[in-house]
């Protein structure tokens, strides 16, 4: 017979004042009204990681009309919306009922500016389920049973009412959320047919509050985005209807302009244009090719067996550039590895900002070529490869540049940012390029060289630490803790949610257990993990059914694997 929430409350009153482990007995499931509460994990002491719970409501009782979830963009956005409501309702309760430490905490991670699939809210054909954590109340190491009975018996039903029932939600707001996601996905899906790699709608508001606050800058100083006529593209979207904006064509694009004129802000918006944004964000209709990868220099990173010969050859000390390996890459070799690794897993758009690039990988001008002639310089700069990438590999580049006009020769589109307003200066730049030749020698001979696939070895990944067989955690957006290792993710720009970092840690372990068979190469392993998550959802990552995980891309998963210091590969 199914126990009820009333049974649970009775039990909690009985263990009031007992020592904390008495809570262990409340693990289980409890029915209330038309919902079910699952207590999956009970913390061992008041200072341990909080207890894990789920509440489930039959879909029919939750009352969502089919048009709120009948299509994938809307389903993800609906779950995302519910997560925001649920997290907000948790916060309101916690603010009222908090004791010391985690005692009395009820929490679900609060989503940021992106609409993403999250394991915190699951909708199946049968039910909607919210997953959250609770710090079971304690005084010292004693059970506060009456307080726990209040949290579980009264607050949990309130959460269900506040966040999981359609009739209780702000419906215009919900609709705007679903429509924003559906429009952004529809727009992204049109890019390829239009020959575009990105679109920035007129009126978009790109600047953020600060480097650590991703919310929109609210100020009358914000200059809304305005497209120059020559680059204007019109699209039709399911909800927004006809929308005009900047369509960035395939090929090589430069964003030039004086310092502080909004170049990096535009590029940063393109970086996260692989994700959908919430209404009011300002970047709702800024979308980018979903395979876009931000590239930067990252000196100090480890590199394992990467074929960096397109950029580096004839290294001193007989290091091999065909299977480049280092514990401590330089600016140029790290950036070269970052590019090759992104291409390895299918990136078709590279985003670079000179602020974070290694100058010597980007350019060697005529004077430097004259002084240090080719055999003494292992680097073939990006300027000599960028056209090959576009023409032979269909890999486009967007490059923010203030310092070197040598790139005018190799660009298809040149945009100048002037006081945050974009201008098409392609023709003017081409005239200058013709009048003032750079005198450079092209340094890339032949075409883009084929790279050797790498096969990652499962034995080189060890998720254990001390007595724990699996020790995997996220540390904000900065690092994946994998076993005894801390994988540095600070240079991986397109992570936006801590849940992605945690999910990537688990995904590495899934890759190790299931897909690193000594046959699949890096691309094959990553693809298999992504396919598994597509098929079974984020729960494919963890049997424990936690609300910890947020959808991630192949590129960020590969980035974590590539930065794992213990990684070993075999070239096939
Ligand atoms: P750049 O890369 O050209 O040096 P940034 O993109 O870093 O310039 O922008 C400089 C400053 O201007 C930043 O503080 C940014 O938030 C702000 N900014 C960028 N775009 C806009 C805009 N459209 N309206 C108002 N301020 C903006
Ligand atoms: Mg800048």
Measured from the CB, is residue 259 less than 6 Å from ligand 1?
yes
Number of domains in the chain: 3
Q: Which atom of ligand 1 is nearest to the CA of 221?
A: 25
In terms of domains, do 433 and 463 share one? no
Mean pLDDT, residues 269-288 taken together: 98
Distance from the CA of 195 to the center of ligand 2, in angstroms?
27
- Atom 11, ligand 1: residue with shortest CA distance: 260
Mean pLDDT, residues 471-490 taken together: 97
The predicted pLDDT at position 314 comes to: 82
In terms of domains, do 351 and 433 share one? yes
Ligand 1: residue of 204, 219, 262, 417 to mutate (most ligand atoms within 8 A of CB) is: 262
The predicted pLDDT at position 318 comes to: 72
* 291 falls within a domain: yes
Residue 48, SS3?
Answer: coil
Rounded to the nearest angstrom, the gap between the alpha carbon of residue 314 and the centroid of all alpha carbons in its chain is 36
Domain range enclosing 431: 196-450
The fraction of the chain above a pLDDT of 90, given in percent, is: 93
Higher-scoring residue by pLDDT: 548, 315: 548
Annotate 483-542 with DSSP letters as a single string. Answer: TTEEEE-TT-TT---HHHHHHHHHHHHHIIIII--SSS-HHHHHHHHHHHHHHH-GGGG-
In terms of domains, do 126 and 228 share one? no
pLDDT in tens, 64-76: 999 999 999 999 9
- Atom 27, ligand 1: residue with shortest CA distance: 207
The H or E element containing residue 106 is strand 106-107
In terms of domains, do 45 and 84 share one? yes
Q: Which atom of ligand 1 is nearest to the CA of 259?
A: 4
Q: Which atom of ligand 1 is nearest to the CA of 219?
A: 25
Mean pLDDT, residues 12-30 taken together: 97
Nearest to 113 by CA among 268, 293, 292: 268
Q: Taking the CB of residue 393, how many other CB atoms lie within 10 A of it?
A: 13
The predicted pLDDT at position 373 comes to: 85
Whether residue 463 contacts residue 509, with contact meaning beta carbons closer than 8 Å, is answered with: yes
* 134 falls within a domain: yes
Mean pLDDT, residues 552-570 taken together: 98
Say yes or no to pLDDT of 50 above 70.
yes
Residue 55, SS3?
Answer: strand
Q: Which of 450, 465, 482 is the last residue of a domain?
A: 450
Question: Can you give the three-state secondary structure of 391-445, one letter per residue?
Answer: HHHCCEEEEECCCCHHHHHHCCEEEEEECCEEEECHHHHHHHHHHCCCCCCCCCC
Q: Which atom of ligand 1 is nearest to the CA of 258?
A: 3
Mean pLDDT, residues 223-233 taken together: 98
Q: Which atom of ligand 1 is nearest to the CA of 208?
A: 16
Say yes or no to pLDDT of 262 above 90.
yes
* 420 falls within a domain: yes
* 88 falls within a domain: yes
Q: What is the CATH number of the domain that holds 297?
A: 3.40.50
Nearest to 551 by CA among 91, 80, 49: 80
Structure tokens at 386: 């960028």
Distance from the CA of 401 to the center of ligand 2, in angstroms?
8
Measured from the CB, is residue 209 less than 6 Å from ligand 1?
no
* 137 falls within a domain: yes
- Atom 1, ligand 1: residue with shortest CA distance: 260
Measured from the CB, is residue 262 less than 6 Å from ligand 1?
yes
Ligand 1: residue of 200, 201, 207, 217 to mutate (most ligand atoms within 8 A of CB) is: 207
Say yes or no to pLDDT of 274 above 80.
yes
Band of pLDDT at residue 317, cut at 50, 70 and 90 = confident
- Atom 5, ligand 1: residue with shortest CA distance: 262
Mean pLDDT, residues 82-86 taken together: 98
Distance from the CA of 208 to the center of ligand 1, in angstroms?
9
In terms of domains, do 7 and 115 share one? yes
The predicted pLDDT at position 370 comes to: 92
Q: Which of 397, 417, 450 is the last residue of a domain?
A: 450
Band of pLDDT at residue 250, cut at 50, 70 and 90 = very high
Say yes or no to pLDDT of 438 above 90.
yes
pLDDT in tens, 489-498: 999 999 999 9
Report how far residue 280's alpha carbon sits from residue 278's, in angstroms, rounded to the nearest whole number: 6
Which residues pair with residue 465 across a beta bridge?
A: 468
In terms of domains, do 258 and 350 share one? yes
In terms of domains, do 472 and 418 share one? no
Mean pLDDT, residues 353-363 taken together: 96
Distance from the CA of 417 to the center of ligand 2, in angstroms?
11
pLDDT in tens, 379-400: 999 999 999 999 999 999 999 9
In terms of domains, do 290 and 341 share one? yes
In terms of domains, do 348 and 491 share one? no
Say yes or no to pLDDT of 95 above 90.
no
Average pLDDT, the chain: 96
The fraction of the chain above a pLDDT of 70, given in percent, is: 99
Band of pLDDT at residue 98, cut at 50, 70 and 90 = low
Q: Which atom of ligand 1 is nearest to the CA of 266?
A: 6
Measured from the CB, is residue 218 less than 6 Å from ligand 1?
no
The predicted pLDDT at position 123 comes to: 98
Mean pLDDT, residues 348-357 taken together: 97
pLDDT in tens, 161-178: 999 999 999 999 999 999
What backbone torsions phi and psi does residue 326 show, to the nearest 5 degrees?
A: -155, 150
Q: Which atom of ligand 1 is nearest to the CA of 421?
A: 23
Q: Which of 426, 450, 474 is the last residue of a domain?
A: 450
Say yes or no to pLDDT of 97 above 70.
no
Measured from the CB, is residue 222 less than 6 Å from ligand 1?
yes
Mean pLDDT, residues 178-198 taken together: 98
Of the listed ligands, the closest to the CA of 282 is: 1
* 397 falls within a domain: yes
Say yes or no to pLDDT of 94 above 90.
no
Say yes or no to pLDDT of 272 above 70.
yes
Which residues pair with residue 249 across a beta bridge?
A: 196
In terms of domains, do 203 and 242 share one? yes
The predicted pLDDT at position 374 comes to: 82
In terms of domains, do 472 and 566 share one? yes
Of the listed ligands, the closest to the CA of 354 is: 2
* 442 falls within a domain: yes
pLDDT in tens, 414-426: 999 999 999 999 9
In terms of domains, do 428 and 461 share one? no
pTM attached to this predicted model: 0.97
Say yes or no to pLDDT of 101 above 70.
no
* 541 falls within a domain: yes
Distance from the CA of 89 to the center of ligand 1, in angstroms?
35
């Amino acid at each position: 017979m199914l126990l009820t929430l009333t049974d649970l409350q009775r039990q909690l009153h009985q263990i009031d004042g007992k020592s904390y482990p008495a809570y262990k007995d409340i693990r289980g499931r409890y029915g209330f009204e038309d919902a079910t509460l699952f207590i999956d994990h009970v913390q061992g002491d008041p200072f341990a990681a909080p207890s894990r719970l789920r509440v489930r409501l039959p879909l029919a009782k939750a009352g969502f009309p089919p048009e709120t979830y009948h299509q994938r963009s809307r389903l993800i956005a609906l779950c995302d919306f519910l997560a925001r409501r649920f997290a907000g309702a948790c916060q309101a309760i916690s603010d009222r009922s908090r004791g010391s430490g985690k005692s009395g905490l009820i929490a679900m991670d609060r989503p940021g500016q992106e609409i993403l699939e999250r394991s915190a809210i699951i909708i199946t054909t049968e039910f909607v389920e919210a997953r959250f954590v609770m710090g079971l109340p304690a005084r010292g190491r004693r059970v506060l049973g009456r307080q726990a009975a209040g949290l579980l018996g009264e607050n949990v039903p309130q959460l269900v009412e506040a966040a999981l029932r359609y009739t209780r939600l702000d419906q215009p707001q919900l609709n705007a959320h679903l429509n924003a996601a559906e429009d952004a996905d529809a727009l992204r899906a049109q890019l390829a047919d239009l020959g575009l790699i990105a679109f920035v709608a007129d009126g978009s508001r790109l600047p953020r509050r600060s480097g650590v606050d991703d919310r929109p800058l609210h100020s009358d100083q914000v200059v809304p985005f305005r497209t120059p006529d020559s680059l204007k593209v019109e699209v039709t979207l399911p909800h927004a209807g006809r929308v005009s904006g900047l369509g960035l064509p395939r090929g090589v694009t430069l964003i030039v302009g004086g310092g502080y004129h909004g170049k990096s802000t535009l590029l940063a918006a393109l970086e996260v244009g692989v994700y959908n944004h919430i209404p009011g964000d300002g970047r709702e209709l800024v979308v980018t090719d979903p395979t876009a990868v931000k590239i930067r220099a990252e000196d100090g990173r480890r590199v394992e067996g990467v074929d960096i010969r397109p950029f580096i050859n004839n290294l001193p000390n007989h290091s091999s550039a065909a299977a480049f390996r280092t514990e401590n890459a330089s600016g140029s070799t790290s950036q070269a590895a970052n590019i090759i690794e992104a291409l390895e897993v299918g990136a078709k758009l590279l985003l670079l900002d000179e602020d974070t690039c290694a100058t010597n990988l980007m350019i060697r001008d005529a004077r430097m070529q004259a002084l240090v002639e080719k055999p003494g310089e292992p680097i073939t700069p990006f300027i000599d490869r960028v056209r090959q990438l576009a023409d032979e590999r269909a890999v486009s580049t967007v490059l923010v540049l203030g310092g070197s006009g040598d790139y005018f020769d190799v660009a298809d589109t040149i945009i100048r940012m002037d006081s945050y307003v974009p201008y098409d200066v392609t023709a003017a730049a081409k005239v200058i390029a013709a009048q003032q030749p750079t005198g450079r020698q092209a340094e890339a001979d032949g075409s883009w060289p084929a790279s050797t696939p790498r096969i990652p070895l499962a034995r080189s990944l060890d998720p254990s630490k001390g007595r724990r067989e699996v020790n995997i955690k996220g540390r904000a957006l900065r690092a994946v803790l994998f076993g005894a290792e801390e994988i540095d993710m600070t240079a991986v720009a397109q992570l936006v949610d801590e849940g992605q970092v945690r999910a990537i840690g688990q995904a590495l372990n899934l890759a190790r257990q299931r897909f690193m068979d000594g046959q699949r190469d890096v691309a094959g392993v990553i693809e298999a993990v992504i396919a598994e998550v597509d098929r079974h959802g984020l729960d494919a990552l963890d049997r424990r059914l936690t609300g910890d995980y947020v959808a991630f891309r192949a590129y960020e998963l590969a980035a974590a694997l590539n930065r794992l210091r213990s990684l070993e590969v075999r070239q096939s």
